[in-house]
Amino acid sequence: MINWRMEEKGFDPERISHVGNKFLTGNGYMGIRGTLPEYEKEQFVAVNLAGIYDQVGDGWREPLNAPNGLYTYVQFEGKQYRLPGGTPLLHTVSLDYRHGVFERTSSWETPKGKLTVTAERFASMREKHLLAMKYCIRCDGEGELLLTSGIDGQVWDINGPHYNEILLQGDEDQVILQAVATTHESKDQVVVCEAYTADFAAAVEPVREDRRILRRLTLQVKAGVQYHIYKYVSVYTSKDTSEYLKQAEHLVRSARDSGYDRLMEQHREEWERLWRISQVTIEGDDQAMEALNYSLYHLHCIAPRHSDHLSIAARGLSGQTYKGAVFWDTEMFMLDFFLFTEPGVAKSLLKYRIDTLEGAKKKAKHYGYQGAFYAWESQEGGYDACSDYNVTDVFTGRQMRTYFKDKQVHISAAIAHGIMRYVNYTGSYDLLAEGGAEVILECARFYYDLLLKRVNREYYELHDVIGPDEYHERVNNNAYTNRMAKFTFDSAVFLLKSLTDLGSQVEERIKRGYDIERLLKQFSDASGKLYVPEPDPVTGVIEQFDGYEKLEDVGIEEVRGRLLHEKEYWGGAYGVATHTKVIKQADVVTMLNLFSKEYREDILLKNWEYYEPRTEHGSSLSACMYAILACKCHMPDRAYPFFMKSALSDISGKGKEWAGLIYIGGTHPASSGGAYMTAVEGFAGLHTEEGMLKATSCLPSHWTRMEFHAICQGRLYRIEVTQKDSQIMDLGELM
């Protein structure tokens, strides 16, 4: 049985950041870190918003955190009782990750006896602009209680502050409070409205502090009586609607009229609807089952169901880390979960890339290339937020030149792969007709422009790139990059030969915009002649890039021992791993996963055994690739610890939080997606053959049974896998 609850007891100020990630709640429109109602910006409070960004001066452009409408704390008999100040008698935080409900309980000793504060809150899955919180106080003795509650506009920002001004106002009775914040860059507005109800009578005093609008409720509490306040918070931006102020106020009034219990009921119903398809059952390993479903909870929290063309940032909605940008993580590690359980969300993620094609073409042109060079760190419009100086040297404090933005050209192939993955799995050409065809053709044009040919060789090469392994920059013929470029060429050839299947409008559009015969000839030639490193005839190992075998072959721990500072970056020009065979994350292994049918099983195994001891797993994207390939080598028990590493990444809090002096903490949705891929595509062996869903059991030895659902070509299936066999039951067409 799944416990469906995460809990931590005791208060440790050093764990505030980790707890904020672990107990995140969200609904795709916004993510609320697992912080306490009384916390302020120093405790990393964030109501992080999807798809809206701002830049201040020369700082990094990043997503917005909204003013905090949940802000609440208590004072009893003249003394405040709130964390992180003081030491509580008891403190517990918990998360019901079945239904996305965060809870806290804290008790303090007072001169009048024990004072206990409990609170629960959720980001509504029914109404994406709404937050709701129930806050309760109980004291063993009588006395005067002051409860302060309202909107805190002192926002935590990594590269802010992002609001030029915040206008604060309240109605006559202070029942509804409002904060309207205006950004620097685009003068976008974020409005937060807060309303409350209480089950007690109290004197109400308005309070205005620096960027805070609050109310102070004063009452005489009786011993042993519990007092409740209910808060309703709406969040809108000027990007959502032209009537954002009106709708924000209307929503909190409506929520207040509906009441907390009704809103909670509706919220739970939406979560149950999601779990009916996405829940994974594992018999024989409750820890794995809970960790996996907790990972899926995080993916549900950040799915942009409110939009038909929005993607997911690398750190989800856990804050401004990585500038809230969309990476290749989405297409290569998160897409499959949504493709199998919510194809509409999967389409939205890819529509984002279609919508940002012009941005990708502008980036290619900037570097002197044709076609589409997608942003490494993509924000709205395809703007590349990645800096040329992306890491800070821990010794000098100076910015270090990195080449993520201009040399990680494999990003465009990830987009093409995601689109074709959707097409092949759904059996639908709708995404191609809505602009996906042009995306693939433009990505192919980009790679064609990158091709090099030496005078004395007959094949094409790709030079001066960075593969998934970011510790080695500016290498030639990275196996993963070259093979993905070939995939892009092959996809473009397929499209050009299948134009009649896309409909007359698409066919006419492509014919008007492209010289089809010329492109067919170019892309076919490029695919046939592009160099992709072959397995060594003796060792079976595929060289990661030209010259990799000549690097120092040294163990990971020895390289770690060369660090002079714990936050020192391992890559770059002078990193401790740069001149060694130690790699950051799965590279060749990722390629072999994607194209495993092209290699014998012994080649897959030899490369797994060669590269894994040399992989530092410095990225949360790495472990799942080794886990899935281990399953393809019929080694589920060797895959298992890598699967658990992925599934536990946001539970354990052991993920890397620094790149040089840059904070990169937050949740790890790609790792969550990787855990799902390992379970469903690795251990259950789920795949398609000629459009038919198939499963091949490869369960860890201590698992007895696994069950889950998947959507394929518009039909819902239940898949049951045991140690001996697998069954796929067709549950019918989705309505």
For the stretch 311-365, pLDDT in tens is 999 999 999 999 999 999 999 999 999 999 999 999 999 999 999 999 999 999 9
> 491, 471, 355: which is closest to 420 by C-alpha?
491
User: For residue 73, which amino acid is it?
Assistant: Y
Quick: pLDDT tens for 487-522.
Answer: 999 999 999 999 988 888 899 999 999 999 999 999
Count other Cβ atoms within 10 Å, centred on residue 520.
Answer: 15
Is the four-CA dihedral 588, 327, 691, 428 of positive or negative sign? negative
Q: Note if 616 is an active site residue.
A: no
In this model, does residue 436 exceed pLDDT 90?
yes
Please state, in angstroms and rounded to a whole number, the distance separating the CA atoms of residues 371 and 284: 50
The DSSP annotation for 238-280 comes to TTT-TTHHHHHHHHHHHHHHH-HHHHHHHHHHHHHHHHHHH--
In this model, does residue 136 exceed pLDDT 70?
yes
Quick: pLDDT tens for 628-662.
Answer: 999 999 999 999 999 999 999 999 877 666 666 56
Give every CB contact of residue 427 below 8 A, 6+ residues apart in sequence: 691, 713, 714
Quick: pLDDT tens for 222-251.
Answer: 999 999 999 999 999 999 999 999 999 999
Query: In the chain, what percentage of residues exceed pLDDT 70?
Result: 99
The whole-number pLDDT of residue 391 equals 86
The whole-number pLDDT of residue 658 equals 61
Count other Cβ atoms within 10 Å, centred on residue 732.
Answer: 9
Burial of 395 (0-12, 13-18, 19+ CB in 10 A): exposed
Write out the residue limits of the CATH 2.70.98.40 domain(s) in the chain.
Answer: 5-162+197-234+252-276
The chain-wide mean pLDDT, for the chain, equals 96
The whole-number pLDDT of residue 174 equals 83
pTM of the model: 0.96
The whole-number pLDDT of residue 567 equals 87
- CATH class as words, domain 5-162+197-234+252-276: mainly beta
Write out the residue limits of the CATH 1.50.10.10 domain(s) in the chain.
Answer: 280-729
> 269, 255, 442, 420: which is closest to 364 by C-alpha?
442
Residue 668 contacts residue 623 (beta carbons within 8 Å): no
The whole-number pLDDT of residue 655 equals 65
Query: In the chain, what percentage of residues exceed pLDDT 90?
Result: 92
Residue 90, both tokens:
């008891």
In this model, does residue 531 exceed pLDDT 70?
yes
User: For residue 4, which amino acid is it?
Assistant: W
> 230, 202, 226: which is closest to 216 by C-alpha?
202
Residue 610 contacts residue 589 (beta carbons within 8 Å): no
> 194, 325, 167: which is closest to 252 by C-alpha?
194
Question: Helix 669-677 crosses helix 636-647 at what angle (to 10 degrees)?
Answer: 150
The whole-number pLDDT of residue 691 equals 82
Residue in 438, 442, 470, 568 annotated catalytic:
470
Where is 152: in which H helix or E strand? strand 143-152
The whole-number pLDDT of residue 519 equals 98
In this model, does residue 19 exceed pLDDT 90?
yes
Is the four-CA dihedral 264, 265, 266, 271 of positive or negative sign? positive
* Gyration radius of the chain's alpha carbons: 27
Please state, in angstroms and rounded to a whole number, the distance separating the CA atoms of residues 592 and 611: 12
Query: What's the whole-number mean pLDDT along residues 445-451?
Result: 98
CATH number of this structure's domain 280-729: 1.50.10.10
Residue 265, both tokens:
């009921």
Give every CB contact of residue 689 below 8 A, 6+ residues apart in sequence: none
Rounded to the nearest 5 degrees, what angle is found at the Cα of 188, between the Cα atoms of 187 and 193? 125
In this model, does residue 54 exceed pLDDT 70?
yes
Give the CA distances from residue 548 to residues 182, 470, 473, in Å, rounded to whole numbers and listed in that order. 51, 14, 12
Please state, in angstroms and rounded to a whole number, the distance separating the CA atoms of residues 258 and 269: 16
Residue 281, both tokens:
């059952």
> 483, 485, 482, 489: which is closest to 441 by C-alpha?
489
Q: How confident is the model at residue 555 (pLDDT cuts 50, 70, 90)?
A: very high
